[in-house]
């Protein structure tokens, strides 16, 4: 299959191209599209066959449910059993935006879309191109991240093309995404709301709107044996080809340790990558050093993370050492992705 890559400008949306994308969706085909978090691989969420195609294109295990993207709050009631008041409050506060709600699904949503579950994940993205595309495609777009399962999520259309070229008819190129890590997921089907995946919307922001929330212990535990409740969180994920290890501790000690380990491997003729910050990149003497951004600019760290992991793939490094980034607001979300990419290998210094 030939994949057409179509540039669409958020400021000036090309209605003809959007309509074409919508037609592909309505006929049961797939289109990759930009959102403010990462690129999504879209199909009609209400057609079982479209969801099957999504799993096949990504090589995703079929028990890992998809997020349904909507463009109007009014459409929510068409796919869920009931709308609890917390859902209304959170939607008022954060939609359109990087927050996904888990609710009880109704019979319109096929089990293929929800990985066999009676609940459905729903989000209204804020990216203008995503919203136009969802409307053109009939209003309900199942859209997991548009990467091959297990690889870092795509933050540029080029990443999508590397993973999915030849497998889908169309990729909408909307440039680099704004946030760079996937949405926060909140489960509203239990007594107390629970965060299943950390993201740009923090637990504190959610608690300000609906009161106490729990955090799924499975998302922060390393090898505690806790099973995360979002099926997708149990898979090794977001991972570059090279083996990644985080080094955590006082900045000077971290730099010294990474230098020592990199020199050792380099001396053995192995190619090593280092994830540094603007403040520290000059401190590394050997290895391929990439800066993720300024240490106090956590938005930049989130936005660059997946791109850097993919850049190291392109350089064919065998080993990556990364500083850790427990930044104040979205540090938990950033570290959650990095720890998963590292398979929880951390050296504390
Ligand atoms: P992605 O679309 O790649 O961001 O992955 C979607 C994430 O949402 C995965 O981690 C899924 O396991 C999670 N998810 C989707 N639907 C549900 C659901 N009904 N219950 C719990 N987690 C879900
Ligand atoms: Mg994903």
Q: pLDDT tens for the chain, 349 residues: list them.
A: 999 999 999 999 999 999 999 999 999 999 999 999 999 999 999 999 999 999 999 998 888 899 999 999 999 999 999 999 999 999 999 999 999 999 999 999 999 999 999 999 999 999 999 999 999 999 999 999 999 988 999 999 999 999 999 999 999 999 999 999 999 999 999 999 999 999 999 999 999 999 999 998 877 655 545 666 777 666 666 788 899 999 999 999 999 999 999 999 999 999 999 999 999 999 999 999 999 999 999 999 999 999 999 999 999 999 999 999 988 889 999 999 999 899 889 999 9
Q: How many CB atoms lie within 10 A of CB 56?
A: 12
- Protein residue with least CA distance to atom 22, ligand 1: 230
CA distance 73 to 94: 12
* pLDDT score for 225: 57
Is residue 184 within 8 A of residue 200, CB to CB? The reply is: yes
CA distance 187 to 231: 12
- Estimate to the nearest angstrom the gap between the alpha carbon of 308 and the chain centroid: 15
* pLDDT score for 231: 75
Residue with the two structure tokens 């777009």? 141
Both tokens of residue 255? 């730099």
- Protein residue with least CA distance to atom 9, ligand 1: 232
Would you say domain 4-219 falls under CATH 3.90.870.10? Answer: yes
**Helix H or strand E segment including 251:** helix 251-267
Cβ < 6 A, ligand 1 pocket: 64-67, 102, 114, 117, 119-121, 144-145, 182, 185, 196-197, 230-233
The CATH number assigned to the domain with range 243-348 reads 3.40.50.11030
Ligand 1 atom at minimal distance to the Cα of residue 38? 4
Residue ranges per structural domain of the chain? 4-219, 243-348
Q: Indicate the SS3 state at residue 86.
A: helix
At residue 185, what are phi and psi to the nearest 5 degrees?
Answer: -110, 125
- Protein residue with least CA distance to atom 1, ligand 1: 144
CA distance 217 to 221: 6
Q: How many CB atoms lie within 10 A of CB 135?
A: 16
Q: Give the closest residue to 86 by CA, choosing from 70, 99, 98.
A: 99
Q: How many residues does the chain have?
A: 349
CA distance 199 to 37: 9
* pLDDT score for 227: 65
* pLDDT score for 9: 96
Residues whose beta carbons lie less than 5 angstroms from ion ligand 2: 145
* Alpha-carbon separation of residue 75 from 34, 68, 82, 131, 184 (angstroms): 21, 11, 12, 13, 20
CA dihedral (114, 117, 118, 119) positive or negative: negative
CA distance 224 to 281: 34
């Amino acid at each position: 299959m030939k994949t057409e890559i179509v540039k669409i400008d958020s400021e000036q949306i090309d209605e003809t191209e959007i309509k074409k994308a919508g037609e592909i969706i309505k006929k049961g085909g797939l289109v990759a599209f930009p959102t403010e978090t990462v690129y999504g691989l879209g199909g009609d969420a209400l057609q079982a066959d479209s969801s099957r195609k999504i799993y096949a294109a990504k090589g995703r295990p079929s028990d890992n449910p998809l997020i349904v993207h909507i463009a109007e709050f009014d459409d929510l009631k068409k796919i869920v059993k009931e709308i609890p008041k917390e859902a209304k409050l959170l939607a008022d506060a954060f939609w359109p935006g990087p927050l996904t709600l888990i609710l009880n699904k109704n019979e319109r949503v096929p089990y293929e879309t929800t990985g066999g579950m009676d609940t459905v994940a729903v989000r209204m993205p804020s990216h203008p191109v995503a919203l136009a595309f969802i409307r053109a495609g009939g209003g309900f777009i199942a859209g997991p991240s548009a990467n091959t399962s297990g690889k870092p999520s795509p933050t540029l259309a080029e990443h999508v093309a590397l993973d999915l070229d030849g497998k889908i008819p169309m990729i909408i190129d909307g440039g680099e995404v704004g946030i760079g890590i996937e949405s926060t997921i909140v489960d509203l089907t239990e007594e107390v709301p629970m965060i299943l995946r950390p993201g740009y919307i923090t637990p504190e922001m959610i608690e300000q709107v609906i009161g106490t929330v729990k955090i799924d212990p499975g998302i922060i535990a390393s090898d505690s044996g806790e099973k995360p409740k979002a099926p997708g969180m149990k898979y090794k994920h977001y991972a570059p080809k090279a083996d990644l290890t985080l080094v955590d501790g006082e900045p000077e000690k971290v730099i010294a340790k990474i230098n020592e380990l990199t020199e050792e491997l380099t001396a053995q003729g192995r190619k090593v990558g280092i994830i540094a910050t603007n403040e520290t990149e000059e401190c590394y003497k050997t290895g391929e050093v990439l800066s993720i951004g300024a240490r106090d600019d956590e938005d930049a760290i989130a936005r660059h993370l997946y791109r850097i992991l993919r850049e190291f793939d392109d350089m064919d490094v065998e080993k990556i050492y990364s500083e850790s980034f427990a930044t104040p607001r979205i540090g938990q979300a950033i570290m959650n992705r990095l720890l998963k990419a590292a398979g929880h290998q951390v050296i504390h210094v």
